């Protein structure tokens, strides 16, 4: 059923005139007459009876008129809601963020909320590989995670920032005169690393494998502050991004640059070839403004 036909029909009933309805709707009278005939043919019943200049609704016409008013009201509300969403007065953004990333993204989240207070922001905190899978299966609109992602995955990526990795050590005489540490030396010590749901874990393990090294993994955890506490307790050494290390206690902990090509690269990921909501597009643009050195946004 054509919504225009309902609109024409209800307006004819309201105006009690085909001529006045046509003027109100800015169409010709033959257009309205043709549309109403098609509506009656589609429904298989007569809707209007003419008695001189008066129009009377049949029982079927009365039912269509009452339901038509309700349908048109719902349609009007839908149009208004879609308009609000397009103008970002309302909507929803499902955003995935690994726990370590929260401090890096807080500024852009604050800017997004100030700019679009009507958009409901639903944040899921999980490891990079977990939020990546959620983006792929449609559970999240977009996520911030460590890059690169597997090239075979249908994901668009936009790098926002890049930081060096550091080796976190207890502040003891053994390490005070060192300026950096490499993977080969690290493999000789118990390691405290993030668990398997983090992209950084996979990147580190691949880096060790490329050098033919098999490190001793003492502890795996999803909490960087727990790993730092274990380092302080001299349970082993940890590899963490520099911004994380800078938040730690300098009186009890020491961090040195990791001698490796590895870096903590963070960026946005969203599913390639899928619909990207207006709120997700606005989030990308907001991040681009917050990190102006990021490359131009991919077309979506």
Task: Judge whether residue 84 has pLDDT over 70.
Answer: no
Q: How confident is the model at residue 294 (pLDDT cuts 50, 70, 90)?
A: low
- The contacts of residue 243 (CB under 8 Å, 6+ apart) are 103, 104, 163, 264
pLDDT of residue 292: 78
Cα angle for residues 294, 298, 300 (degrees, 5° grid): 145
pLDDT of residue 299: 36
- Taking only the tens place, the pLDDT of each residue in 199-252 is 888 889 999 999 999 999 999 998 888 999 999 999 999 999 999 999 898 888
Mean pLDDT, range 157-182, rounded to an integer? 92
Nearest-10 Cα torsion for 95, 131, 247, 196: 170
* Closest CA relative to residue 163, chosen from 256, 241, 108, 228: 241
Count of CA atoms in the C-beta half-sphere (13 A) of 164 = 13
257: exposed, middle or buried (C-beta count within 10 Å: 0-12, 13-18, 19+)?
Answer: middle
DSSP class of 119: S
Is residue 61 within 8 Å of residue 47, measured between CB atoms? yes
Q: How confident is the model at residue 295 (pLDDT cuts 50, 70, 90)?
A: low
Task: Judge whether residue 296 has pLDDT over 60.
Answer: no
Which pair of tokens denotes residue 130? Answer: 């977990």
CA distance 265 to 108: 17
* Closest CA relative to residue 284, chosen from 159, 174, 175, 167: 159
* Closest CA relative to residue 168, chosen from 97, 100, 267, 268: 100
pLDDT of residue 170: 93
Which pair of tokens denotes residue 99? Answer: 């726990």
pLDDT of residue 211: 93
pLDDT of residue 78: 77
Q: How confident is the model at residue 102 (pLDDT cuts 50, 70, 90)?
A: confident
Mean pLDDT of the chain: 88
Mean pLDDT, range 44-60, rounded to an integer? 88
Mean pLDDT, range 129-144, rounded to an integer? 91
CA distance 17 to 92: 44
- Taking only the tens place, the pLDDT of each residue in 4-47 is 888 999 989 988 999 999 998 889 999 999 999 999 999 999 99
pLDDT of residue 80: 61
Mean pLDDT, range 173-190, rounded to an integer? 92
Task: Judge whether residue 293 has pLDDT over 80.
Answer: no
pLDDT of residue 189: 94
pLDDT of residue 297: 44
Q: How confident is the model at residue 300 (pLDDT cuts 50, 70, 90)?
A: very low
């Amino acid at each position: 059923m054509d919504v225009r036909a309902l609109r024409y029909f209800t307006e004819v009933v309201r105006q009690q005139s085909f001529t006045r309805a046509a003027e109100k709707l800015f169409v010709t009278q033959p257009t309205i007459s043709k549309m109403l005939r098609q509506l009656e043919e589609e429904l298989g019943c007569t809707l209007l009876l003419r008695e001189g200049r008066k129009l009377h609704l049949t029982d079927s016409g009365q039912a269509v008129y009452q339901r038509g008013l309700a349908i048109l009201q719902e349609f009007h509300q839908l149009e208004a809601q879609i308009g609000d969403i397009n103008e970002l007065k309302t909507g929803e953004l499902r955003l995935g963020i690994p726990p370590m990333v929260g401090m890096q993204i807080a500024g852009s989240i604050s800017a997004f909320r100030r700019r679009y207070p009507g958009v409901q922001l639903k944040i899921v905190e999980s490891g990079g590989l977990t939020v990546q899978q959620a983006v792929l299966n449609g559970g999240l609109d977009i996520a911030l995670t460590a890059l690169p992602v597997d090239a075979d995955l249908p994901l668009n990526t936009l790098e926002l920032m890049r930081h060096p990795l550091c080796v976190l050590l207890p502040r003891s005489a053994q390490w005070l005169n060192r300026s950096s540490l490499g993977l080969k030396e690290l493999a000789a010590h118990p390691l405290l690393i993030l668990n398997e749901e983090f992209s950084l874990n996979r990147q580190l393990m691949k880096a060790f494998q490329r050098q033919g090294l098999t490190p001793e993994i003492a502890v795996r955890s999803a909490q960087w502050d727990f790993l730092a506490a274990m380092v302080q307790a001299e349970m082993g050494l940890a590899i963490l991004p520099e911004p994380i290390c800078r938040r730690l206690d300098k009186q009890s902990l020491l961090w040195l640059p990791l001698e490796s090509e590895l870096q903590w690269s963070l960026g946005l990921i969203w599913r390639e070839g899928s619909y990207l909501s207006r709120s997700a597009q606005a989030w990308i643009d907001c991040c681009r403004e917050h990190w102006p050195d990021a490359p131009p946004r991919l077309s979506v």
